[in-house]
Amino acid sequence: MALLERQRRLLDFTLSSLLRRKGKNGALVAVYALTIFLLASVLFFGESLRREASIILADAPSLVVQRMMAGRHELIPDSYADQVRSIRGVRSVKPRLWGYYYDPLSGANYTIVTSEERKNGTIAIGSGVASTRKLAVDDVLPLRASKGDTMLFTVAEVLSEESALASADLMIVTPADFREFFAMPAGFATDLIVDSGNPRECSTIAEKIAIRLPDTRPIVREEILRTYDAIFGLRSGMVLAVLACAVIAFLIFAWDKATGLSAEERAEIGILKAVGWDTSDVLLMKFWEGTVISVTAFLAGTALAYAHVFLAGASLFEPALKGWSVIYPAFRPTPVFDPAQIVTIFFLTVVPYIAVTVVPVWRAATIDPDAVMRT
């Protein structure tokens, strides 16, 4: 208990000594917290994008087969579906129709998909489409078809705002309307969705498809997830590497603050040593000083970053980490808390801070009381 009491008293002393120099320490904490805020925002946002992508992809088909021609995505004949169906382990194969539509009125690209459950002549639209074209349910939406004529669709449904990230630019029509609109020949589909029943079989089935139908490319969901993981990791890593300059600037600032002791601080340490403090006591006091500053800045920086990313939608970094588009779904990242990220931020900010202040702190602690008090 005596040990704890000693530390408590030292901490008490350190706090009052820090408060005596509010301006200097306040500036240090502010810059420190800002650096942590920047790094933490990048990490939190990157992680939330990664999570969001994996949540969306969780419902994606486990295996998609696309036909390639001259290195480009081509329509796939229905006969391919039968060949895939004959592979052992395949439970079902469904041809899928989808495409993009450039809307000259709003300058946006829409994604058109099909659903058997809708009625011909009706359309379901995403919230982004609804707001750019100012549409509500039962309005009529004229679209220019491939052959130049205009097709009229009645809006049957506006998709909910909740799924906006995935559905903002979406339009859902029937397969018959889709074929008519894009003048797509019968007997062809955009691609095939393969259900393997057992997810572990997926890559074996993909391998067999690639051998039997050499002009196709099978895309396994796991591979997409892996790619997203790597891309988001890489992007936030790259932004962090750029921010390394900010960290280094902060470290120089911290080094300077720690080295340039004011006459008052030197006198204080001199007096402490004159009244019987040991070098190790001064070191301990300085340790508490660094701890108080780091903990304050760390808590402030990460809390601000959390608010910035999860409450303010990461307005500072959105353009860098996301893509760009005319229709921008409002992206409210789901709050995620990952202890690993807190540790990462700690290692990228507090550890370098400790490293640059060790030597100046030692210099301060070994000040000769006699020399200080003479000056």
Residues that bind another protein (CB under 8 A): 42-43, 46, 64, 66, 71, 200, 203-204, 206-207, 210, 217-220, 222-227, 229-231, 233-234, 236-238, 240-241, 279-280, 283, 339-341, 343-345, 347-348, 351-352, 354-355, 358-359, 361-362, 365-366
State the nearest-atom distance from the C-beta of 32 to another protein, in Å: 16
Tell me whether residue 283 or residue 292 sits nearer to another protein (CB atom): 283
Question: Which residue number, 80 or 110, has a Cβ lying nearer to another protein?
Answer: 80
Tabulate helix, strand, coil % of the chain (nearest 5): 60, 15, 25
Nearer to another protein, 176 or 244 (CB): 244
Rounded to a whole number of angstroms, the minimum distance from the CB of residue 265 to another protein is: 19
Q: Which is nearer to another protein, 234 or 311 (CB)?
A: 234
For residue 189, the Cα-to-chain-centroid distance in whole angstroms is 34
Closer to another protein by Cβ: residue 109 or 279? 279
Contact 34, 302 (CB under 8 A): no
Q: Buried b / exposed e across 278-312, counting CB within 10 Å, b at 16+?
A: eeeebbbbbbbbbebbbebbbebbbebbbebbbee
CB of 210 to another protein, least distance (A): 7
Nearer to another protein, 23 or 339 (CB): 339
Length of the chain: 375
Q: Which of 346, 370, 344 is nearest to 269 (CA)?
A: 370
Q: Is the dihedral of CA 262, 268, 273, 277 positive or negative?
A: negative
C-beta of 162 vs 278, nearer to another protein: 278
Instruction: Decide: 129 and 328 in contact? Cβ < 8 Å.
Output: no
Residue reference for tokens 């909740």: 162
Instruction: Specify the long-range contacts of residues 346-350, CB closer than 8 Å, at least 24 apart.
Output: 346/298, 348/39, 348/240, 348/247, 349/32, 349/35, 349/36, 349/39, 349/247, 349/250, 349/298, 349/301, 350/294, 350/298
Q: What is the dihedral of CA 189, 190, 196, 199, to 10 degrees?
A: -170
- Closest separation between CB of residue 117 and another protein, Å? 28
- For CA atoms 125, 128, 132, 135, the dihedral sign is positive
CB of 283 to another protein, least distance (A): 6
- Which residue, 140 or 242, has its beta carbon nearer to another protein? 242
Q: How far is the CB of 3 from another protein (least distance, A)?
A: 12
**Least CB distance from residue 209 to another protein, whole Å?**
8
**How many DSSP H helices and E strands does the chain contain?**
13, 13
Q: Which of 251, 247, 249, 240 is nearest to 320 (CA)?
A: 240
Minimal distance in Å, beta carbon 133 to another protein?
A: 33
Q: Closest CB to another protein among 9 and 226?
A: 226
CB of 204 to another protein, least distance (A): 6
